[in-house]
Structure 1
């Protein structure tokens, strides 16, 4: 048979060979490193027979799909180890993630650190046993009976949610069997060096109304050296974690009396977001946006027209009860329907378009408790939201204008090289999730792909990630632990204008429905703040720090000298304070350094006599003595220029 390899070459092999046999024939070293295969674009096991004419790629741990196959196998090794040590434990789910794997268990008590040590030791035994993984399938009814007999209620529930005619796959490794779609490595030995990291609580299926399960997180690498490097990287990530650092630096706090997913921004965090908001609103106005201010809630009637009631209700906070004949309101999850009402308050012609509405919106989304994390995933947040209403002929130019605004903002924040671009499309196999028919979706997605190709952006495509009313460009970032979230988004909406009877009179005198571009120009402010804290390890660019300069006196006589210069700085728009406490200067400097203050200015008798300050700059330490006038000009220039250091 003839097989096309990853380098484009075509090679002949014996009929019926599987991917592992081909890998070994190509190169014995490759055969040892192989963990999975990609046949005609589908990731599968190495034991899968390769059909004649297929395209074959041998995957190793260096490949993302190969890495996930290893980590998925490691989750099964974890489950097998837990069942050996704690036979009464019930199995839930155990996927690979972008940064390792986890498995959820139903046990009488949470796992302790001592438990993790025992489980990890047992995992290493299972890896050393090099047990082959064998896949087999059963009809749905037989699969249910098998899991009932095994006493695994969570697996039974998962199978019962599948269609009647579904064929269910299992993976067997020795005496352990797990329900799983795969793919996996050929044996437990390919897991090499596993490491369990931590435990956490997790509601079954992420629903807080379900039972709390006990989750174990882990990772695995081919060598101890690679694992050690990862653990060092993880330690550094934990030091940068905004959920830890943001609290230590007093950017935000939380309180159980307020509620989960409802962070309280402290003065530092609130000031940084205010500065970001002023910058964004000024830039939007410069680019032709007009500002709106709309309610935080609306009647359910509005959301029924927009489609949110049918497609997004689970993510909304509902007030009132229709069954009790009460008026039903909902806190807004987005601003678009409100701005459409503003558009419809006046008549428009093609000469009025485009209209660019912008609003700094407070929004509410009923996130599952298991999804919430610090400032990244919250239930109330602030969005730099905007909607552009335009003609079809203006669509590309306006889309490119939005992209230019976002890229400018990213450059100012210093994050332009930290993001990826995702073209989020609909899932044609889940049509009930979306408004519109297949023809409309393909037409608009084709138009968006053309626009993206014209930009020259490097992007990837993702099915099922579109909004229910149209495709979108999502600009993605990863937090310090590798978890990916959306920071900015640009959406093309082909459906809601007609739903809201939005029209304009075209040059031919006919009323037509406009296109709408939904966009965020800096995204969710809370999420952006979290990302900035992690990127800069709390040392945010000077212009967005709540305190840019701290002055410190060595002698009592120098206190007023410091206060006088602080007033001059504040008059020039610089956020400055004076630490005139009766403390040693070394203590004051250490405290300011720990708070990541950009400029520390020290004055004593000599500085008063010379009209200077001893200057310390964040990240550099002492930079020498500078005249007050020169220093004032430098600091103002760096603040206005939004210099990053």
Structure 2
């Protein structure tokens, strides 16, 4: 059987189905070409062509070629590990965003010294320029091969493959179960670095064996690698877990449990500032505040559909008076029941209810990560009940409010995704198409560029996801707008229309910041703990040069407190340089230094946390300056 392939020069050719890409592309291959794409799928030269389409070429300049490089680097690393530690068993080793990893079953964790040895062995393998050759073999042959190699994890994977043939890749004496794609040979792996080792359960299940995951990264040039490693160092400097401890913002304690956050006074103060701003802005825009319980009868989650589609992320139920109760994973069913508490008229719609509601979701211990992945968190939740003719305008308003909030906190760049129907969902395809169409139309009418994220909607409806870009160029999922025709139907909520008949409202689920915990973690790293003045727990510190300056300093302190400036004193008998360094480490925006000159002139010498010295300034002028910054929510 033959298939039609359009070649990189635009010409067409009929080729035997299953022919390797390198045979079709042989007239186009140069040393700069490292891979190809068939339609939108990245392939290597060993890939059999089994469907019609258009072939295009990839060079080392194409960002997509990094997938080939990193997947190959993972195999080179696995080969090096097997040569140095023959008892290690292979699990899986994919290319991931910004790098690659490989999981190994070994008697102990790999040490930093081991990683150095593995890197050295990788260099030897790379120098050999070993071709990566693909073979498609019968399943029984693959089972025999990996049984002989004593690779139990590969055998488990093979037995779950439904096809009768499987693909393997060989490089020298090393062989791996893999579907590709890869570079033509190991010599093209130029700039690489092994980064860390972490424990990872086989298939992410705590009931399975603990494996050792080696992370690494690779680039086509040394310059790109060095730039990335410098970024990693900057990310470590900004790590919210380290800064959270140093700045006394929050902690996670074993006695409390993993994934559960203790907010310390400074962190709790910042949280209050965020919450107050959030509530005030919602009230200005026609939202009403609601408050709901932390638990409910488990039956509620059966009605909502969460038990059918979300049970693995819910905590085990508890029994109260012989009735099963559930820690809430979502706030939406409570808001629906408030809506349902009395008859509603079309004249009342839209109804906008918002809540900073704490929810609880079970996350496996291996994926918990500081504030970014937790088990208890507070969603900045809102639900809008509206008529169909109001839907587009309400989505517009949600988008506008989202952009306003993100920009106020200093995030000007973001990506927008339209997440469509997943494999498991409730409701009819017709309802889903209507919901997806409403979101798509709102985005297009707003003139916003977006990408489709297929299958990433929630079980009850599609959504718009907005990912913010931080100062290091990383994207974080925070904001979401979801259109839901399904849950209103499951709870049978209605309103009385102008025709005096019952009609079904549409429900919009909406979060701007996502969760306060995660958003706070992003803020810490975005600002490296040096929050804008309006969010800083301590906005200024009064520092005395000597004890004789304390009386004037105390008057300054009281004047600032009276002006609602968050200020603290440092009147200790320590050297001035020491006190300034400590204030800078605490990321305090302004240091107000008082010595003889300041007492004489009843003024302040002001030093910023960036090291800038401002001209001598009166107390009243400083108050005016800082108040303006706070009022404008200036991003420094």
TM-score normalised by length of structure 1: 0.92
Q: 1:15 deviation in Å? A: 6.1
Distance 2:585 2:571 in 1: 18
CA contact (8 A) 1:143 1:159 kept: yes
d(CA) in 2 for partners of 1:321 and 1:93? Answer: 41
* Preserved contact between residue 356 and residue 380 of structure 2 (Cα < 8 Å): yes
Q: What is the aligned partner in structure 2 of residue 268 from structure 1?
A: 266
Quote how far apart the aligned CAs of 1:479 are: 7.0
Residues 373-418 of structure 1: CA distance to partner in whole angstroms, max 9, x if unpaired? 111111111111111111111111101101111100011101122x
Aligned CA distance change for structure 1 residues 167 and 320 (closer, same or farther; 3 Å): farther
| 8 Å CA contact retained: 1:90, 1:105 | yes
Post-superposition CA distance 1:259-290 (Å, at most 9, x none): 22123222221111111111111101111111
Counterpart-to-counterpart distance in 1, 2:106 and 2:199: 11
Which residue of structure 1 aligns with residue 412 of structure 2? 416
In structure 1, the partner of 2:633 is 642
Q: How does 1:543-582 map to 2 (within 5 A)?
A: 543-582=534-573
Alignment of 1:270-309 (within 5 A): 270-309=268-307
Report the counterpart of residue 363 of structure 1 in structure 2: 359
Aligned partner of residue 32 in structure 1, secondary structure: coil
Q: How far apart, CA to CA, are the structure 1 residues paired with 2:344 and 2:499?
A: 14
Looking at structure 1, the residues matched to 150 and 322 of structure 2 have their Cα atoms a distance apart, in angstroms, of 46
Which of these residues, 610, 614, 617, is aligned with residue 619 of structure 1?
610
Deviation at 1:47, TM superposition (A): 3.6
Structure 1 range deviating more: 12-21 or 489-498: 12-21
Cα RMSD of the aligned pairs, angstroms, is 2.4
Query: Across the two proteins, how many residue pairs are aligned to each other?
Result: 631
Please state whether the residue corresponding to 1:357 is helix, strand or coil: strand
Q: Name which of 240, 244, 248 aligns with 2:242.
A: 244
Q: Does the alignment pair 1:426 with 2:421? A: yes
SS at match of 1:79: helix
- Residue 597 (structure 1) aligned with residue 561 (structure 2): no
Residues 606-642 of structure 1 deviation map (CA, whole Å, 9 limit, x = unaligned): 2122121001123252112101111111111111111
SS at match of 2:358: strand
> Which residue number corresponds to residue 210 of structure 1?
208
Match of 1:111 in 2: 110
2:3 aligned with 1:3: no
TM superposition shift of 1:580: 0.9
Q: Which runs of 5+ in 1 are unaligned?
A: none
CA distance in 2, matches of 1:492, 1:440: 10
Q: Does the aligned pair in 1 maintain the 2:378–2:515 contact within 8 Å?
A: yes
Change (3 A) 1:587 1:309: same
Deviations 1:338-392 (A, max 9, x none): 1101000011111111100100011111111121111111111111111111111
For the 8 Å contact 1:280–1:521, the answer to whether it is kept is no
Contact 1:422 1:462 in 2 (8 A): yes
Distance apart, 1:23 and its partner CA? 6.9
Q: From the superposition, tell whether residues 151 and 256 of structure 1 become closer, same or farther in structure 2 (CA, over 3 Å).
A: same
Match of 1:327 among 323, 326, 330: 323
Is 1:336 matched with 2:324?
Answer: no
TM-score by length of 2: 0.94
* Rounded Cα–Cα distance in structure 2 between residues aligned with 1:478 and 1:370: 25
- The answer (yes or no) to whether the contact 1:19–1:48 under 8 Å persists in 2 is yes
> Which range moved further: 550-559 or 137-146?
137-146
Question: Contact conserved, 1:424 with 1:462, CA < 8 A, in 2?
Answer: yes
Deviation at 1:81, TM superposition (A): 1.2
Q: Which residue of 2 aligns with 1:454?
A: 445
Task: Report the CA distance shift for 1:387/1:50 in structure 2 as closer, same or farther (over 3 A).
Answer: same
Equivalent position SS for 2:277:
helix
1:628 counterpart residue number: 619
| Rounded Cα–Cα distance in structure 2 between residues aligned with 1:141 and 1:516 | 53
Structure 2: tracts of 5 or more residues without a match: none
Alignment correspondent of 1:68: 67
**Secondary structure at the residue paired with 1:522?**
strand
User: Deviation digits for residues 420-457 of structure 1, max 9, x if unmatched?
Assistant: 11211123xx3xx2112333323322232222112222
How many Å separate the matches in 1 of 2:475 and 2:167?
A: 29
Partner of 2:381: 385
Give CA deviations for 1:517-555 in whole Å, capped at 9, x if unaligned: 111122211111111111111111110110001111123
Partner of 2:345: 349
The worse-fitting range, judged by mean Cα deviation, of 142-151 and 280-289 is 142-151
Report what 2:395 is aligned to. Answer: 399
Counterparts of 1:410 and 1:596 in 2: how far apart (Å)? 22
